[in-house]
Amino acid sequence: MKADKKIIKSWVRQQNRTSRSITMSIALLGFVNVMMGVVQAWSLAHIFAQLLMQHVSDVQMLLVIFIICCVVRVLLSYLQELMALSAGQSARRRLRHHILERIMVAGPVLLRQNHSAKLATLLVDRVEMLDGYFARWLPASMLWVVAQWSIVAIVAWQNWHAGLVLGLCCLALPFLQAIFGIATAVASRRQFLAMSRLQTRFLDRIRGIATIVLSGNAERDAQDLRTAAEEFRHRTMKVLRVAFMASATTDIVMIVALVWIVVSQSHALMHDHSVDHASAALFAVFMVPEAFATFRALSASYQDKSHVNETAEAVHTLPQPSSSHGHDPAEKEEGAHAVLYDGRGISLVVKDVSYRWSEDRPPTLLDINFALEPGQTALLEGVSGAGKSTLIELLLGFIQPQKGQIFLGGVAMNTMSAEAITRHISWIGQRPVLFAGTLRENILFAHPNAREEEIQHALEASRVSQYLADLPDGLNTVIGEGGFGLSGGQAQRIAIARAFLKNSPLLVMDEPTAHLDPETEQDILEALKLLLQGRTALIATHSSQFKTLETTYHMTLDAGHIVSQEPKQ
Amino acid sequence: MKALVKLSLVWRSRFGYLLFGLLLAELSVCSLFLLMGQTGGRLSSAIIGVALGFGLLRIAGVARIVLRYLERLVAHDATFKALTDLRVWFYRRLSEGAAAGLGFRRSGDLLSRLVSDIQSLDNLYLRILIPLAAAFISLPILVIICLHAGVGGALTLTIALLFALIAFLLPYLTARSTYRLGPDLQQAQARLQIKALDMATGLREMRIFGAEERMCQALEDDQETLYLLQKQQGRRMAALHASALLLSRLGGIAVLCACVGIFYHKPDIIAGVTIFFVVTSALDMINDLPRAGLLAGQACHAAERVASVVTERPLPGGYINTLPEYFDIQCHQLSFGWPGKGLILEDASFFLKSGEKAILLGPSGSGKSSLAALLLRVVSPRSGYITLDGINIEDVRDETLRNKVAWLSQNSHLFDDTIRHNLLLGREGIADDALWDALEKAQIADFVRSLPDGLDHWIGENGSHLSGGQGRRIALARVLLSSAPVLILDEPAAGLDLETEKAFLETINRIDRRRSVLLITHRLTGVERPDHIWRLEKKKIVAQPI
């Protein structure tokens, strides 16, 4: 856990470093802004001092300076905001790219431990949430100490007594913050957890609302919801009572500084009636809010800081990018050229392959051996949990066996790059993922540069063409999320069309008809028979209908072993 | 805006407390005026050599600190109360009307989006209503202070005008601009989210078809579209914010000009300094209001979406409170189609005698689930009717019906809670023995016993800590726990592998002979032992020999 924290901290530091230059520029603008504020307060103090002492000398000139300062400060703030906007965007852009890379390197295996929605949230929402961190928190944290103490120094130079008071108050601020802050930090973190739990619970209830309503428990559950929320409120208010003390310290310190300076300066002024002294006193008073403004900006974006740690933690659940393959990619690409196959398919040899998902669990696969000649088809059976999916992921190169080797067309797979492996394989799962887009885009996904006749052939062979007429816009119908709903059988035919279009020598299928009714299954099977011609195939399935296929092998997997391997006559 | 007003009516019973919060906020503003006025006044008096007491200054300082603290505390407390009210209200409304329909049509994502809309309404009181209302009250107070100090009508008018521009016009402009740009931004964001979700679910496809680079590129393109819109909005916001800042500085400049004697009638200099302090702090205070406008623009959209869902009318409730312990179900020539779509059932009829078990077969999408929706009275048929022992289902109270007809489907939700709470769903007074009995009947008791926490085992989001078959059995146990004489099982085993599905269906075979069961499925596995097999063909129900 400690090592994790260290990694997370160094990751955050690295992020800070990469955006340092723009952070610096924003902070620098902020500093110039503060300095303009000093000039502004100075001119203002002199105007009032001269007016009050009725000793007007250059008021008009000072007024012009004051106005110029006002305008310049507005422009500087505008500029700061624009820069913060682009700082936030470029940091998010960079971060998203970084996360994308990590996801791509880890590949499909990620889906074993992570829900896809979680990955999508990391990729979009979590990254977007970091805007405030890069746009506001980083510059503010860089600026505040320098700005505050510069002001204290300048005030002290003009008016050492007021400077001392202001300095003392600024010094007290971190202490007071620490006293109240540390006490609340732990509690508020726990509170944040409770809050997110309450939100999750609400979301969970809403998602399952049909279940609750149909079991006749809606009213009772609404009461529960209220009780939980009320209880949460009570507990939160307890924490907030202290937490607001922490934020009240800024008010306290500032008001104390203000009142103290006014009272002490007034007493001094009673004895010394000079314009200089009067303007120095006024200047000190005008600088009090300025001295605390940068700190206020920092506290305002405090919650932005907590987001970055959460994201860092989420990013670190993804595997490290470097650990994927042992070989140099260039060398692997070499290996790929040697893969041998012709129009009849490709040979597949699995030799002594063992795999375990983690050290503390028994091996999922143990000493698996089989060989398929080009053009042969094998059926793979076994109850769920027997290791079928693991075997398929090994064949697809998503994971590498800890022991043994797999040869594709005579070439050991561990010498090939991921792209080289998948170039030779088509895969059909239980339910294809249909991307948001048109039907054509979804099929072309397999081969973006396919010619029109290739597409037509794939549509015919996969029998997608059979239902095209029923779709509102034919091939241009929008499917996937938010689009036209396709049935399981229709979707599976798209997967087959993709496989035709990709035209690779090895087919791997994982329960391709698991969700279909018998008639649809029969239909899909006809299309698959066409696809199997001239290809080597391994099909994991429970369905009896597949037994009608001309297959070479029936393999049965049980607890990581191949328990039967009957060649068919 | 109308939707926003309507939703804030949810807080009707809290108006007193919300007003109290507002009062504190306003008092805190007044204490700030007093503090700054005293600062300016006392200091300038001292400069011209007039000694005055500092009592009021100190009191103002203490009052400001205390009031600011109290204001925050009360405002947050009120926000939490409002938040609870809003959620419970939303939950109730959803459960009365839209929910059943929405939930039935698997709109889990739509529902999640609604939840985030509700969350964005949380800001309504704390960040929008309070600051705006406080500004509304502060304006006349500021005018009175100015007039009282005798700085002249022209200067007072200038200040009031600037105040109104910053506090009301600019936030209005911001709200309008975000309201207009909102849908585009949201759409761009949604597109990015969909692309990311597509990508995450389609990792396998991407790897197999070598589409990783293409998809990443497409995602980053969508990101650029979003960022372009964000940049537009951000620029506009920055410009508005800069205008607010400029206007508030103009207020200070106007007072200064008056003091020097330019443009305005020259006031008494001490009054001038005092007013300068008050006016600059008042204008600084409202500088952030354009941001409230930004939130208001977003909240408007959220409120509209929420309002449109909860206004979906609930079906009129029945009046019959009691049904016989066991009853026959008869459907007479039902016709049904989802709103805005064609018919999926036409003149469909069947008769299920009490205690009989029937299977309804049909390909996916043929309308089998809508029959379940009709039997649970989530929807009403367009024509035809359903009777339970001769009582029309339309006349039965929802709660009575739902205590008698239990529903289990692949969409039955498992809550992120313990097994016990998943079984009970809030029901009270049920002994553990009954829970174990139900688990026993669902054939999952041994598994639950093997868990270290037993019934108090936490099952994770939608049962993620369980296997698919185990999750379905927990859901079955929940249904069996109720004494409902009729069970509607809508594809209860979909998505399970064949072995698990068979075992699950065998469990169903053993269900108490007195209960009627309607099993809706797309295929037979061979282990079912029904009294009838019906097939949904061409929108009608056809009996098939067993």
Q: What is the DSSP string of A435-457?
A: PSEEHHHHHHTT-TT--HHHHHH
Neighboring chain B residues of A250 at a CB cutoff of 8 Å: none
Supply the pLDDT for residue B323.
81
Distance from CA of A252 to the nearest CA of B (A): 6
Torsion of CA B189, B192, B194, B196, to 10 degrees: -140
Residue A324 pLDDT: 43
Would you say B82 and A229 are in contact if contact means Cβ atoms under 8 Å apart? no
> What is chain B's mean pLDDT, rounded?
84
The answer, for A124 touching chain B at a CB cutoff of 8 Å, is yes
* Nearest residue of A to residue B104, measured between CA atoms: A210
Q: Which H or E element spans position A2?
A: helix A2-18
Q: How far is the C-alpha of A118 from the C-alpha of A122, rounded, in Å?
A: 6
B515 Cβ contact partners less than 8 Å away, ≥ 6 residues apart: B355, B484, B485, B486, B487
C-alpha B168/C-alpha A372 separation (Å) is 77
Closest CA relative to residue A144, chosen from A296, A370, A344: A296
Q: What is the DSSP letter of B152?
A: -
User: Greater confidence, B501 or A167?
Assistant: A167
Distance from CA of B523 to the nearest CA of A (A): 6
**What is the pLDDT at residue A63?**
92
Contact criterion met (CB < 8 Å) for B108 and A207: yes
Separation of CA A358 from chain center? 26
Contact B100 A432 (CB under 8 A): no
A451 burial level (CB within 10 Å; 0-12, 13-18, 19+):
exposed
Rounded to whole angstroms, the Cα distance separating B296 from B233 reads 15
- Name residues 230-289 of chain A within 8 A of B (Cβ): 230, 232-233, 236-237, 240-241, 244-245, 247-248, 251-252, 255-256, 258-259, 262-263, 265-267, 269-270, 273, 278, 281-282, 285
Residue A562 phi/psi, 5-degree rounding, is: -85, 110
According to the per-residue pLDDT averaged within each range, which of A29-38, A307-316, B145-154, B425-434 is highest?
Answer: A29-38
Sequence length of chain B is: 546
Residues B391-397: what's their mean pLDDT?
Answer: 86
Instruction: At A431, give phi and psi (nearest 5°).
Output: -150, 120
Residue that the structure tokens 């050599």 belong to: B49
Residue A26: what pLDDT? 94
A111 touches chain B (CB under 8 A): yes
Q: Are strands A478-479 and A506-510 parallel, antiparallel or unpaired?
A: unpaired
CA dihedral A441, A443, A446, A452 (to 10 degrees): -90
Side chain identity at residue B226, one-letter code: L
* Alpha helices (runs of H) in A159-217, residue ranges in sequence order: 160-207, 209-214
Tokens at A342, concatenated: 């012709």
pLDDT category of residue B306 using cuts at 50, 70 and 90? confident
Which among A71, A200, A213 is the top mutation candidate for probing chain B, defined by the most B β-carbons within 10 Å of its own β-carbon?
Answer: A213
Rg (CA), chain A: 35
Put the strands of the sheet holding A403-408 in their side by side order.
Answer: A365-372, A348-355, A403-408, A411-412
Whether residue A215 contacts residue B482, with contact meaning beta carbons closer than 8 Å, is answered with yes
Q: Would the CB atoms of A208 and B47 count as touching at under 8 Å?
A: no
Assign B230 a pLDDT band (cuts: 50, 70, 90): very high
Length of chain A: 569
A75 CB neighbours in chain B (<8 A) are 242
- Give me the residue label for tokens 């392959």: A353
Nearest to A279, CA basis, from A519, A513, A16, A59:
A59
Answer whether B87 sits within 8 Å of A429, measured CB to CB: no
Lowest mean pLDDT among A116-130, A391-405, B355-369, B508-522: B355-369
A434 in Cβ contact with A486 (< 8 Å): yes
Q: What is the DSSP string of B381-440?
A: -SEEEEEETTEEGGGB-HHHHHHHEEEEETTPPPPSSBHHHHHHTT--S--HHHHHHHHH
Using an 8 Å Cβ cutoff, are B405 and B376 in contact? yes
CA distances from B310 to A206, A356, B12 (A): 13, 50, 18
Do the Cβ atoms of A115 and A314 come closer than 8 Å?
A: no
What pLDDT was estimated at residue A569?
Answer: 46
The percent of chain B in helix, strand and coil, each rounded to the nearest 5, is: 65, 10, 25
Handedness of CA A438, A442, A448, A454 (dihedral sign): negative
Exposure class string for B217-254: b at 16+ Cβ within 10 A, else e: ebbeebbeebbebbeebbebbbebbbbbbbbbbbbbbb
pLDDT score at A327: 43
Is 90 exceeded by the pLDDT of residue B497? Answer: no
> Can you say whether residue A410 is alpha, beta or left, with left for phi > 0 and alpha for psi between -120 and 50 degrees?
left
Q: What CA–CA distances, in Å, run from B129 to A450, A486, B31, B507?
A: 58, 46, 20, 57
B positions 523-542 inside 8 Å of A (CB): 523
Q: What is the largest CA-CA distance in chain B?
A: 111
Nearest to A120 among B54, B196, B406 (CB): B196
Which structure tokens are listed for A187?
């509690």
How far apart are the C-alpha atoms of A115 and A136, rounded to whole Å?
32
Residue A89's nearest CA partner among B3, B223, B430 is B223
- Other C-beta atoms lying within 10 Å of the C-beta of residue A431: 16
Those residues with Cβ within 8 angstroms of residue B2's Cβ, 6 or more apart along the chain or in another chain? none
- Whether residue A536 contacts residue A375, with contact meaning beta carbons closer than 8 Å, is answered with yes
Instruction: Look at residue B79 in the predicted model and tell me its pLDDT.
Output: 82
Which tokens go with A439?
Answer: 């039907």
pLDDT tens profile B90-139: 888 877 765 555 545 444 556 666 777 777 787 788 888 889 999 999 99
Q: Which amino acid is at B495?
A: G
Write down the pTM of the prediction.
0.80
Pairing of strands A536-540, A506-510: parallel
pLDDT < 70: residue spans in chain A: 1-3, 181-196, 320-342, 384, 480-485, 487, 515, 567-569
Residue among B204, B234, B249 whose CB faces A74 most closely = B249
Chain A contact for B216, CB < 8 A? yes
Mind listing the pLDDT tens digit for each residue in A126-144?
Answer: 898 889 899 999 999 899 8
Other beta carbons less than 10 A from residue A506's beta carbon: 24
Per the structure block, which two tokens stand in for B135? Answer: 């500004």
Q: Which residues of B touch A221 (CB under 8 A)?
A: 91, 425-426
Residues of B in contact with A58 (CB under 8 A): none
pLDDT for residue B42 is more than 80? yes
From chain A residues 142-171, the ones with a CB under 8 A of any chain B CB are none
Using CA atoms, how far apart are residues B369 and A434, in angstroms rounded to an integer?
24
**CB contacts, 8 Å: B203 with chain A:** 103, 107-108, 110-111, 116
Least CB-CB distance to A435: which of B100, B198, B208?
B198
Tokens of A452: 């029109």
Strand partners, A371: A349
Q: Can you say how many angstroms the Cα of residue A187 is from the centroid of all Cα atoms in its chain?
A: 27
